[in-house]
Structure 1
Amino acid sequence: MPLSAVGALADMSVVEFCLGMALSRRAPQSAGELAAELSAWFDRQVRSRAIKAPLEAMLGRGWVAHGCGTYTLSETGTAALTPFTHALVRMLDGGRRLLDLAVFMSLIKEFERSGS
């Protein structure tokens, strides 16, 4: 039984999580823009066609909206991403709760701006 069936967590792949994170940081984005962002994160080429199925799945769950060739993250998508974002920070923090999510996210954005 999937975790989402009991209300614990949304069933989300790593690719879906990354697409949601990309859209939470800058939206709207086209499939090509999303593929380019994921390519930078994974340090390997991600083609637009490779993210078509995950985007369709996210559309089906109501996590993203599609219009005029671009995607945006919905409130439902934000709610689905939130526990995973918190978990990621806690994993990187080693469970010590020394990292603050808002500070951590602003640091990531600063590293991206600086090209580090």
Structure 2
Amino acid sequence: MTNVATIYCEHDLPSMTVFELAVASAIGRQELSSNQDLMEILGDWFQRSVDDRDVVSALSKMEQQGWVRQAGETLVAYRLTPMGIDYVTTLYGGCIRMIDRGLGILKVSFLLQALEFPKEEDNA
């Protein structure tokens, strides 16, 4: 079976899993004081308990991809890199447009501005 369409882009499309996107979002936007805070936020978002081994695995993959960097010894000490911020923002925009189904009811630029990353100054 062949592809129905081929998309050519100047930049690679991010290939994060939904869980990796959630972890990146949590470490990038939330003021977290402990690994337990991170597990609770992710558990709340997914409505099920989250194992720290899953978070470690996601962060390890994202670090290998250059999307996050370790800035301390805890899971909440990871920071998004500029590439990570770009990918997370790109994926959020795509998710918003997908949920909106192209109707233009949800204003992507407005919603993305609401998703400020307070720890951006710590990133890079």
Q: TM-score normalised by the shorter chain: which range applies? A: 0.7 to 0.9
- 1:23-42 equivalence runs, <5 A: 23-27=27-31, 30-42=34-46
| 8 Å Cα contact 2:14/2:91 also seen in 1 | no
CA gap of 1:29–1:58, structure 2 versus 1, over 3 A, is: farther
Is 2:80 the partner of 1:98?
A: no
Is 2:26 the partner of 1:22?
A: yes
Q: RMSD across aligned C-alpha pairs, in angstroms?
A: 2.5
Aligned-pair identity in percent equals 28
CA gap of 1:80–1:102, structure 2 versus 1, over 3 A, is: same
Secondary structure at the aligned position of 1:72 is classed as strand
Distance 1:28 1:77 in 2: 18
How many residue pairs align between the two structures? 103
Secondary structure at the aligned position of 2:79 is classed as strand
Q: Highest Rg: 1 or 2?
A: 2
How far did residue 98 of structure 1 move?
2.0
- 1:80-99 equivalence runs, <5 A: 80-99=87-106
Is 2:61 the partner of 1:57?
A: yes
Distance 1:66 1:29 in 2: 15
Aligned position for 1:9: 13
Uncovered stretches (5+) of structure 1, i.e. residues with no partner: 108-116
Distance 2:51 2:57 in 1: 12
Bigger relative contact order, structure 1 or 2 (CA pairs below 8 A, ≥6 apart): 2
Query: Whose helix proportion is higher, 1 or 2?
Result: 1
| 8 Å Cα contact 1:16/1:54 also seen in 2 | yes
Uncovered stretches (5+) of structure 2, i.e. residues with no partner: 1-6, 116-124
How far did residue 94 of structure 1 move?
1.8
